[in-house]
Amino acid sequence: MISVLVVDPQPLQRFGFRMLLESSPDTEIAGEAENGAEAVRRTAVLRPDVVLLGIRMPGVDGIEAARRIAAAGGRSRVLVLTTSDMDRYALAALRAGASGFLLEDTRPEVLLAGIRAVAAGEAVVAPALTRRLLDAFADRLGDDLCGPVREDPRLDSLTGREREIFVAIGHGLTNGEIAQRFTLSESTVKTHVGRVLAKIGARDRIQAVILAYDLRLTLPV
């Protein structure tokens, strides 16, 4: 069973999420919270698999809550709900440590699929959409994106091939596209991707893409 902490300031919204999760055979409600501060506290106690988190909340908002939950280093992963796939707050949540985001009006089956994917360690943003999101808000990714590659000890730990894979991830390529580019099998690419994520300390591909931008390994087009 996938345990989910539902965080939303609106009781009716939380009730709807509860009904949906309880209707699915592989998900269950770990608890509820109505704001970010409560979400952080309850995550530490309940240790849910997934924290379903709204962004706009009174007091500690969803971005800060995602940052605190990720910084705690627990197993709980954050799935953010936002009003727009180009919402600048969604990007901020991803940078804070969220594993993905979905629209608030997404279909129930899509939301359940997203929860399952996040619980399995995947990122709930398609690579192409990740690239589009980052390109749209490249001006918020840091100062002087046109400068040289930033030195970082995490890069020193990568082999030459792993660095190529890292750059390809940063460009938003799928495993299949990376395999085609470097004439590798998809299983080999999957192994390389796993090693890259572990070495750079990224929770998922989204975090790897953001780091690639921050280090200027890949730039907006």
Tens-digit pLDDT profile for residues 77-113: 999 887 765 556 767 777 788 888 887 778 898 899 8
* Cβ neighbours of residue 183 closer than 8 Å, sequence gap 6 or more: none
Q: CA Rg, the chain, in Å?
A: 18
pLDDT at 204: 79
Long-range (24+ apart) CB contacts under 8 A made by 152-159 are 152/215, 154/199, 154/200, 154/201, 154/211, 155/200, 155/215, 157/199, 157/200, 158/196, 158/199, 158/200
Prediction pTM value? 0.70
Percent of the chain with pLDDT over 70: 84
What is the mean pLDDT of the segment spanning 12-37? 93
Contact 207, 215 (CB under 8 A): no
pLDDT greater than 60 at residue 31:
yes
Range scoring the smallest mean pLDDT among 2-11, 158-167, 212-221:
212-221
pLDDT of residue 178 exceeding 80, the answer is yes
Give which of 175, 170, 160, 178 is closest to 213, Cα–Cα.
170
Tell me the pLDDT of the chain averaged across its residues.
Answer: 83
pLDDT at 208 over 80: yes
Higher pLDDT, 160 or 121: 160
Residue 38 is inside which H or E element, if any?
A: helix 36-46
Model pLDDT, residue 144: 47
Digit-coded pLDDT (tens) for 115-158: 998 888 776 765 555 656 666 555 555 544 445 566 778 888 99
Q: In the prediction, which pLDDT does 145 show? A: 46
* Residue 65, H or E segment: helix 62-71
